Chain A
């Protein structure tokens, strides 16, 4: 009985995943630009800029199915466990690695991430640690990505730039605009043998910022 239920939930998660993907594609005609890597199934960490809650579904939607099935986003537990619907989406559709950001909880997020990596899955992470609301293209990176790269030196760290999402759905707006969104994947990084944490974080941040397409004379917000 239990196994039937699990299979049913699995099936429902697949369907919901496809609906999300089609919706994202219809609305934003999202396109993947594989600049620095080929879309092949290989263990990777996609580290992306974070301006909107739509970032993760957007990256997830442009990944080819074979890669998508092997890729899990790292996401905030307080957001994805808020209600049953989100818990279903986060846990079963996206199969997110949920991290508790609350200080009072004595939870080791890095242990969870490394555990997920040990199974060979790829991950989507947002190294800025939160949504970027300011005028700067990127916030300073948290150390997590460095620790992941140290623990699994053979895994590709792929800079992933999500463009235009901020105008599609700025914070505080309800109706998303159907503008075209592009997800650009850059050349993979690896931590140098004697590269310091700060040096690597700066290098990773620069590699990600380099993928930012030239804005057509952006009107300041």
Chain B
């Protein structure tokens, strides 16, 4: 039987698209409220006065509009759209990351290979759904081969640092990021082709968890987790993770996890994401920069935007695979 004429499959597909449209509309709804809120304050502002906080806020909201639109569009397009979106996200993130790492002329070829061979290959493997390859390609093959290419140039100045920082960049910006689209390739019984909804679930719970961590941290935060690194507090973190769990429970209809399972998965992803945020803060401090780049107006670079999702993605992927996949 031709799968396209299968009414059950068609209904399932329509359900997936319907869910994405619903989520996108909810996202746009929130953004409309946020935009109106900003415009209202702007309207009440004395003419001729400046309000830099409001300007920052409005630039951020504008960037969020673009992001929600882009992600919704990719999710609706399905597998290829999502893979291409995250391929470009990886490219932008790796560009930011490797701009700040130690390297010299001897690394030119291995860095070129990282950008123009490792990155596209990883996404081709993810697109094909070859779990056995995309989970080992960077940690095994790139890990061993790129240092060989660097060593062949015969320069040993700070070799360990150069090689380790390049590999770290690849792991974070390509390997980890690619685990977001890889969620689509999981074969979960009774869940069908709805893998794309897991991406929406992961991004929504992690990002909202971060936002609420920031909000509660400002309100009730007292104990800094790592005062030298970031203003994050244990109170904010606990509230953020708890909120992510509640939101995850409400979004259980997107997932194969059930309500309790969805809440726990959301809490885990959010928790890992928040600590990931701390790790990125440490790297930025080490390199003496405030943001990774200036690519996204008002919010720094791609890595600033993605850091917690990046950290959460591989663990979210593997836990889902072990517990729910076949």
Contact with A along B163-188 (1 / 0, CB 8 A): 00000000000000000000000000
Determine whether A195 belongs to the interface, using a CB cutoff of 8 Å to chain B: no
Option from B96, B102, B115, B294 in Cβ contact (under 8 Å) with A177: B115
The answer for the CA separation of A145 and B294 in the assembled complex, in Å, is: 32
The answer for the CA separation of A29 and B95 in the assembled complex, in Å, is: 9
A-B contact count (CB 8 A): 52
Question: Considering only CB atoms and an 8 Å cut-off, how many residues of chain A contact the other chain?
Answer: 18
A167 x B116 contact (CB < 8 A): no
A29 x B295 contact (CB < 8 A): yes
Contact with B along A155-175 (1 / 0, CB 8 A): 000000000100100100101
Closest CB of chain B to A111's CB: distance in Å? 40
> Max chain B CB contacts within 10 Å: which of A175, A177, A214, A221?
A177
Which residues from chain A contact B287 at a C-beta distance below 8 Å? 216
Determine whether B51 belongs to the interface, using a CB cutoff of 8 Å to chain A: no
Closest CB of chain B to A212's CB: distance in Å? 14
Nearest-neighbor residue (CB-CB) of B113 within chain A: A175
B116 x A175 contact (CB < 8 A): yes
The answer for the CA separation of A99 and B204 in the assembled complex, in Å, is: 58
A219 x B158 contact (CB < 8 A): yes
Which residues from chain B contact A175 at a C-beta distance below 8 Å? 108, 112, 116
Which residues from chain B contact A173 at a C-beta distance below 8 Å? 105, 108
B108 x A180 contact (CB < 8 A): no
Determine whether B59 belongs to the interface, using a CB cutoff of 8 Å to chain A: no
Which residues from chain A contact B295 at a C-beta distance below 8 Å? 29
Determine whether A104 belongs to the interface, using a CB cutoff of 8 Å to chain B: no
> Max chain B CB contacts within 10 Å: which of A175, A179, A218, A221?
A179
The answer for the CA separation of A81 and B158 in the assembled complex, in Å, is: 42
Determine whether B100 belongs to the interface, using a CB cutoff of 8 Å to chain A: yes
Q: Give the interface SS of chain B, mostly helix, strand, loop or mixed.
A: helix
A177 x B105 contact (CB < 8 A): no
A217 x B102 contact (CB < 8 A): yes
Given the interface contacts A164-B99, A170-B108, does A214 sit within 8 Å of B293 by beta carbon? no
Given the interface contacts A175-B116, A220-B157, does A180 sit within 8 Å of B105 by beta carbon? no
Determine whether B223 belongs to the interface, using a CB cutoff of 8 Å to chain A: no
The answer for the CA separation of A180 and B92 in the assembled complex, in Å, is: 10
B116 x A214 contact (CB < 8 A): no
Which residues from chain A contact B95 at a C-beta distance below 8 Å? 29, 178-180
Determine whether B98 belongs to the interface, using a CB cutoff of 8 Å to chain A: yes
Which residues from chain A contact B56 at a C-beta distance below 8 Å? none
A219 x B293 contact (CB < 8 A): no
The answer for the CA separation of A160 and B102 in the assembled complex, in Å, is: 24
The answer for the CA separation of A154 and B75 in the assembled complex, in Å, is: 57
Determine whether A21 belongs to the interface, using a CB cutoff of 8 Å to chain B: no
B104 x A177 contact (CB < 8 A): no
The answer for the CA separation of A167 and B98 in the assembled complex, in Å, is: 10
- B interface residues (Cβ-Cβ under 8 A, vs A): 91-92, 95-96, 98-105, 108, 111-112, 115-116, 157-158, 161-162, 287-288, 293-295
Give the top 8 A-B pairs by smallest Cβ distance, nearest first. A180-B99, A175-B112, A219-B104, A219-B158, A179-B99, A219-B102, A216-B287, A221-B104
Q: What are 10 A-B interface contacts by the 8 Å CB criterion?
A: A167-B103, A173-B108, A177-B111, A177-B112, A214-B288, A217-B102, A219-B161, A220-B104, A221-B104, A221-B105
A-B contacts besides A219-B158, A221-B157, 4 pairs, CB < 8 Å: A170-B108, A175-B112, A177-B115, A219-B102
